[in-house]
Every structure is written in structure tokens, then in C-alpha cells.
Chain A
């Protein structure tokens, strides 16, 4: 048996497909072959790494697509803008664009804010009929504060 055969046996050994006798032969070869030892070691690490990976979460929009199209009488469709309800539609905006929008909103709200335009704010005038109904004492107070 040559080196390539032993390499294939490493793969079979990893999958539990190698008999006891062949396994014993493989291990005596491994004692002398660095390349086969490396194949076994790396393959075991890859197995461990793959097994550690988390199973992916299915987005709720996919549940809606699959169950919605079959269970609630709809026709089967590909994902399209009209299909998904707007509340379940994921809107993707690049970070710089999102930051620019937030910045413009803040600047815009400050520009139009009464805090920055105090001089231009007109004081509300109380209509004469209402002023007449205000007691004299209170009218003096109002004049005083102004």
C-alpha cells in the first residue's frame, strides 16, 4: 500500500469507515508519516470547527413567504416589493447615508427651531374681547411681566 492509499484511509478513519485491522495498519504508518499525521490533525480540527458553527436563524420574512404563500391561499411567489407587508420589509441603508440623514434631520430641526430665532417669534396677541374679561388686577400683572 502506498502513501496515497494511506491518505484515503485517513479520510475513511475519520468517518468510522475503516475496519480494526486497517486502522492498525494506518496507525503504524502515521508513526512515520508527517504528511498523513497532518492530514488527520487538520481534518479533525476542521470537523471540530464545522461542528461548532451555529445553525442559522431563519428570518421571519421567510416564514411569512413560505407559510403565507401556501397556507393562506396565496400563489407561490418570489420575494418582491409588493409581496412582503411593509412592516416586515427590511430596509437596508449604508451607514454613511444613514448618518448623513440623521445629521440633516438634527441640523434642520435646529435651523427651524424657535430657540435660534427668538427675535422673529411674534408674541401672540390676546383678542380684545378676551382681554376685557380678564380681571383688572391680573391685567396689570400681565402688563408688568411684559
Chain B
């Protein structure tokens, strides 16, 4: 049971409460770490991005105007950090490119024929900008509006990316889902 709401903890953190920081960290660390891990596929990068996210939360908490959107704000910080790292590592393409996939060809790489393994391989092979909307929608169950806040895009762009990701996955996975 949460003893304190996010709003209360944000207020306390603004007054320099270490306990509030610790409680917020433990409340969100696994979600943020999992999100970073899904986007990067690399535990070390995910750890660095999670670390930086909470440090930024600590130092910039006064910039959070509405404490009710703390969760989305944290995802937004984490997402920006991950993108910076991915760009630094030159592992990510541009958002303007047509392709939904990374350079890997998922099904060629999927030697294991279990459908769940193939799904995981395909999800991992999606570009980060498609992976993030799918993860935020399907796993974290964020609304389109929340995802738009996190990604800094419009709601229509979020809808479009979700649709593209689903369509691309359906095309790849169709042979394994015969009627």
C-alpha cells in the first residue's frame, strides 16, 4: 500500500526530503529500468539511463509544474536519455526513415521456432521509436495522450506509429498465425 501519493512526495522532495526521493525511486525504478531495457536491449545502457533519470528528477523536480504527471515525466526523461545513448552508440536510425525494423532481419535470425520466441525477436528488432509506443501502450497501458507527452509527439503521430508497428509485426508474424 502506498502511504504517500506522488503529489505529496514531490512536494516533500522539493523541500529536500531524502526519504521522499528514496520512496519515489523505489516506486518507479523497476518500471523505468524495464522501459529503458526494452528500448536499448542492453542492461548496462539501461542502468545508466535509469540512473540519469532519477538524478534528473532530483535536480529538476522544481521544473515539474504538475506533480500528477510525475510518471509520464519520468518516462519522458528516461526516453530522452535512452535516445541520446542510442544516438551516441549509433545504433538507431532516424525517425524519418520508412523502415520499421532495425538492420536485423528478425525471422532470419529466429532459429528457434517457438512462436513466443519469434514474437520476442520481432519486438526486439523493431526500431526504438516503434518499440517505445508499443511498450508504453501494451505493457504500461498509457493512453495516447500520455504517450504523446512522454515522446513529445502529437497524438496523431502516436496513433500512426502504433499502427505501423502493429502492421509490420502482423506482416512478419502472419505465417505463424494461420486460421
Contact = CB atoms under 8 A, between A and B. Distances in A.
A39 B116 contact: no
B55 A76 contact: yes
B21 A42 contact: no
B166 interface: yes
Interface stretch (A66-74, A99-107, A115-123, A127-135): A66-74
Interface residues of B, number: 42
Contacts of B47: 59, 61-62, 65, 79
Given A46-B123, A50-B138, A51-B139, A39 B22 contact: no
Contacts of A146: none
Given A42-B177, A45-B177, A70-B55, A58 B48 contact: no
Interface residues of A, number: 39
Contacts of A38: 170, 174, 177, 179
Nearest to A48: B138
A63 B18 CA distance: 14
Contact of B25 (A17, A43, A59, A66): A66
Interface of B: 18, 21-22, 25, 29-31, 33-34, 37, 43-44, 46-48, 50-51, 54-55, 58, 115-116, 119-120, 123, 134-135, 137-139, 144, 159, 162-163, 166-167, 169-170, 173-174, 177, 179
Interface of A: 7-8, 10-12, 14-15, 17, 34, 37-39, 41-43, 45-47, 49-51, 53, 55-59, 61-63, 65-67, 69-71, 76, 78-79
24 contacts: A7-B167, A11-B162, A15-B162, A37-B179, A39-B166, A41-B177, A41-B179, A43-B166, A45-B115, A46-B119, A46-B169, A46-B173, A49-B119, A50-B134, A50-B138, A56-B34, A56-B37, A59-B47, A61-B47, A62-B51, A66-B51, A71-B18, A76-B55, A79-B44
